[in-house]
C-alpha cells in the first residue's frame, strides 16, 4: 500500500474538514421539530435520525471523492475498501447533548491506515472535528501540525504548558453501561482530589480538541471506540499532547487518555493507580 505523501495528507485533511462541515450544517439546519430517537446497546445509548442522516451524507461524499477507501462509522452504513485507508466517522459525537439541545456535540472525520476495529492496529493520517455549537473546526495531518478555524480565521493550536497535576483541569466521560460506569466512578473518586477540577462535556472529540487547544490540560475515559477519538487524537498529538493508556498498554477501551506534556507522566501514574484500585 502506498501511503499518501504529506501533500496528499493535506488534501485528505481538507476533504475531512469539508465533509465534516457539511454534516455539521445538516445536523443543525436539518434538525426536525420532532426528532426520532432509537436505542442501541441500552436505552441510554441512543441514535437519532440525524446521526444516521449525517453519516449517510458523509458516506456519500467520501465514496464520491475516495471510492477505493473503506468507511467505518458509528452508525449503520460502512463499506469495505481496497486502498488500505479507512475513513472513521462519528456523525454526531455527543448525541445525548444534541438530543437535549446542549453543547458540545461534534462531527468527527478521520482517515486512518490499519484496522480501526482493533485498538493498537490503526493510526490516523488526517482528520477534522467540527463543533457546531461553538463554531470551531479543528483539523490536522500526520507530521503537519494541528489548527483551528473559526469565523475570524485560522491559527495553530498547541497543548497547554501545565506542569502541576494538582492544578490541571481535566475532562472525562462515562460509559452507557451501568457496570463500567461503577468502575469509572470509583476511579473518579481517587482522581478528583488530585487535580484542579474535572469537566464532563459529553463529547470525546471536543475534549480531545480542547486538550489540543490548551482549554483542557488532560482527558481520560474508558469504553471509547475509534470513531470517538480518531480525528481528535491526531489533532491533540500534532498539538504536542501525549497519548497514553493504562500503564504501558496502548490506549484502548479499558482506558484512553491524552494530556499536556508537562503533566503526562504524573497523570498516567494517577490514572494507573486509580483504575488498578477501582
Ligand atoms: C459519546 C462520547 C463521550 C462519552 C459518551 C458517548 P456518542 O459518544 O463522545 O465522551 O462520555 O458517553 O459515548 O455516543 O455521543 O457518539
Quote the ligand 1 centre to 1 CA distance (angstroms). 33
Domains of the chain: which residue ranges?
A: 9-156, 165-277
Residue identifier of the C-alpha nearest atom 11 of ligand 1: 173
Nearest to 168 by CA among 235, 65, 92, 263: 263
Instruction: State the Cα–Cα distance between residues 141 and 248, nearest whole angstrom.
Output: 26
State the pLDDT at residue 4.
62
Quote the ligand 1 centre to 94 CA distance (angstroms). 5
What does DSSP assign to residue 67?
T
State the pLDDT at residue 7.
59
Closest ligand 1 atom number to CA of residue 207: 10
User: Which H helix or E strand runs over 10?
Assistant: helix 6-29
Does ligand 1 lie within 6 Å of residue 73's CB atom?
no
State the pLDDT at residue 249.
82
What cell does 269 get? 501514574
Unique residue bearing C-alpha cell 473518579 = 188
State the pLDDT at residue 217.
98
Instruction: State the Cα–Cα distance between residues 215 and 208, nearest whole angstrom.
Output: 10
State the pLDDT at residue 216.
98
Residues of the chain with pLDDT under 70: 1-7
In 4-95 the beta strands, taken as DSSP E runs, fall at 37-39, 46-48, 70-73, 85-93
State the pLDDT at residue 44.
86
Query: Is 165-277 a CATH 3.40.190.80 domain?
Result: yes
Query: By the 8 A CB rule, do 17 and 150 touch?
Result: no
User: Which H helix or E strand runs over 51?
Assistant: helix 49-65
How is domain 9-156 classified at the CATH fold level?
Fructose-1,6-Bisphosphatase; Chain A, domain 1 (3.30.540)
For the full predicted model, state whether its pTM sits above 0.75. Answer: yes
Which of 105, 178, 203 gets mutated to test ligand 1 (max ligand atoms within 8 A of its CB)?
203
Amino acid at each position: 500500500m502506498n501511503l499518501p505523501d504529506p501533500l496528499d495528507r493535506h488534501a485528505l485533511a481538507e476533504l475531512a474538514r469539508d465533509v465534516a462541515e457539511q454534516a455539521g450544517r445538516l445536523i443543525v439546519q436539518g434538525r426536525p421539530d420532532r426528532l426520532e430517537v432509537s436505542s442501541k446497546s441500552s436505552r441510554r445509548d441512543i441514535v437519532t435520525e440525524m446521526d444516521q442522516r449525517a453519516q449517510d451524507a458523509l458516506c456519500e461524499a467520501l465514496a464520491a471523492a475516495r471510492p477505493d477507501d473503506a468507511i467505518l462509522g458509528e452508525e449503520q452504513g460502512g463499506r469495505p475498501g481496497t486502498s488500505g485507508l479507512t475513513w472513521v466517522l462519528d456523525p454526531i459525537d455527543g448525541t445525548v447533548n444534541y438530543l437535549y439541545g446542549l453543547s458540545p456535540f461534534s462531527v468527527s472525520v478521520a482517515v486512518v491506515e490499519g484496522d480501526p476495529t482493533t485498538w493498537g492496529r490503526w493510526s490516523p493520517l488526517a482528520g477534522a472535528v467540527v463543533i457546531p455549537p461553538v463554531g470551531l473546526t479543528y483539523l490536522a495531518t500526520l507530521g503537519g501540525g494541528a489548527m483551528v478555524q473559526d469565523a475570524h480565521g485560522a491559527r495553530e493550536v498547541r497543548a497547554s504548558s501545565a506542569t502541576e497535576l494538582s492544578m490541571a483541569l481535566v475532562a472525562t466521560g462515562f460509559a452507557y453501561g451501568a457496570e463500567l460506569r461503577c468502575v469509572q466512578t470509583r476511579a473518579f473518586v481517587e482522581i478528583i482530589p488530585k487535580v484542579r477540577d474535572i469537566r464532563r462535556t459529553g463529547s470525546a472529540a471536543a475534549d480531545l480538541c480542547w486538550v489540543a487547544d490548551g482549554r483542557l490540560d488532560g482527558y481520560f475515559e474508558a469504553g471509547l471506540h475509534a470513531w470517538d477519538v480518531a480525528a481528535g487524537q491526531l489533532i491533540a498529538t500534532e498539538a504536542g499532547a501525549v497519548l497514553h493508556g493504562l500503564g504501558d498498554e496502548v490506549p484502548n477501551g479499558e482506558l484512553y487518555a491524552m494530556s499536556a506534556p508537562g503533566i503526562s507522566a504524573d497523570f498516567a501514574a494517577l490514572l494507573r493507580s486509580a483504575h488498578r484500585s477501582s
